[in-house]
């Protein structure tokens, strides 16, 4: 699939089939994250692939509550990916302070998009989740308390065989310009 088709096809999936994700595809996804670029090559992430069904369901249930229900689809996904923020290289930390930039968050976003685009190319669906009970997920996955979770990504085969939904995006004129703001 060429890149233009890939970015047009990739969309957030919120209905998953029960079909398991093949181990070789999970390995390709791990490799896509491993190869993602980062500030000063810090690679400030640790990727946890949650494939054990019982543990995956416990983590998925930590992404919603009775008050916040928009992630109730998460248990349908056969796999969850958890991107944990790691300490970047000292040069990246210094540069981030000097420039008032949180480079590890930018890097996590790049790694997550590598994951999601690779998944789409493999015929898999994903959805990035920023809302979750972080202390609960940390406890379930034995993540040290001095680490933050960047985000979770649901992964699996889409239950919907329909073509991708139209993307509701700003026009190019609204979101870009040449030579000045």
pLDDT given for residue 181 in this prediction: 95
Q: What is the mean pLDDT of residues 158-181?
A: 89
pLDDT category, 146, cuts 50, 70, 90?
A: very high
Q: Which of 151, 117, 118 is nearest to 48 (CA)?
A: 151
pLDDT category, 166, cuts 50, 70, 90?
A: confident
pLDDT given for residue 177 in this prediction: 94
Q: What is the mean pLDDT of residues 13-24?
A: 96
* 31-69 residue pLDDT tens: 999 999 998 898 999 999 999 999 999 999 999 998 888
Alpha-helix runs per DSSP H in the chain: 3-9, 23-34, 53-61, 90-99, 103-121, 134-140, 172-175
pLDDT category, 96, cuts 50, 70, 90?
A: confident
**Residue 93 pLDDT > 90, yes or no?**
no
Measured CA distances, 115 to 44, 63, 146, 165 (Å): 15, 20, 25, 20
Alpha carbons 144 and 154: distance in angstroms, whole number: 22
Q: What is the pTM of this model?
A: 0.91
Q: What is the mean pLDDT of residues 123-137?
A: 96
Q: Which of 136, 133, 141 is nearest to 55 (CA)?
A: 141
Per-residue tokens: 143: 């993540």
- How many CA atoms within 13 Å lie on the side-chain side of 56? 20
Check whether domain 3-159 has CATH 3.40.50.261, yes or no: no
Q: Which of 42, 14, 43, 51 is nearest to 141 (CA)?
A: 51
What pairs with residue 83 in β-bridges?
A: 47, 151
CA 139 to chain centre: 20
pLDDT given for residue 15 in this prediction: 95
**Residue 26 pLDDT > 80, yes or no?**
yes
Question: What residue segments make up the domains of the chain, in order of their start?
Answer: 3-159
pLDDT given for residue 99 in this prediction: 78
Buried b (16+ CB within 10 A) or exposed e, 45-70: bebbbbbeeeebebbbbbbbeeeeee
């Amino acid at each position: 699939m060429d890149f233009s088709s890939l970015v047009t096809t990739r969309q957030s999936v919120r209905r998953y089939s029960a079909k398991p994700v093949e181990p070789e595809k999970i390995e390709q996804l791990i490799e896509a994250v491993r190869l993602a670029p980062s500030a000063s090559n810090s690679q400030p992430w640790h990727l946890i692939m949650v494939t054990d069904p019982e543990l995956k369901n416990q983590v998925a249930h930590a992404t919603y509550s009775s008050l916040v229900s928009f992630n109730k689809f998460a248990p349908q996904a056969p796999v969850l990916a958890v991107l944990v923020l790691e300490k970047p290289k000292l040069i990246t930390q210094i540069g981030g302070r000097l420039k008032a930039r949180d480079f590890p968050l930018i890097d996590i976003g790049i790694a997550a998009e590598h994951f999601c685009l690779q998944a789409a190319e493999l015929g898999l669906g994903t959805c990035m989740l920023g809302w979750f009970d972080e202390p609960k997920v940390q406890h379930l996955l034995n993540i040290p308390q001095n680490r933050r979770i960047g985000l979770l990504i649901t992964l699996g085969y889409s239950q919907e065989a329909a073509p991708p939904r139209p993307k509701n995006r700003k026009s190019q004129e609204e979101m870009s310009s040449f030579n000045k703001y």
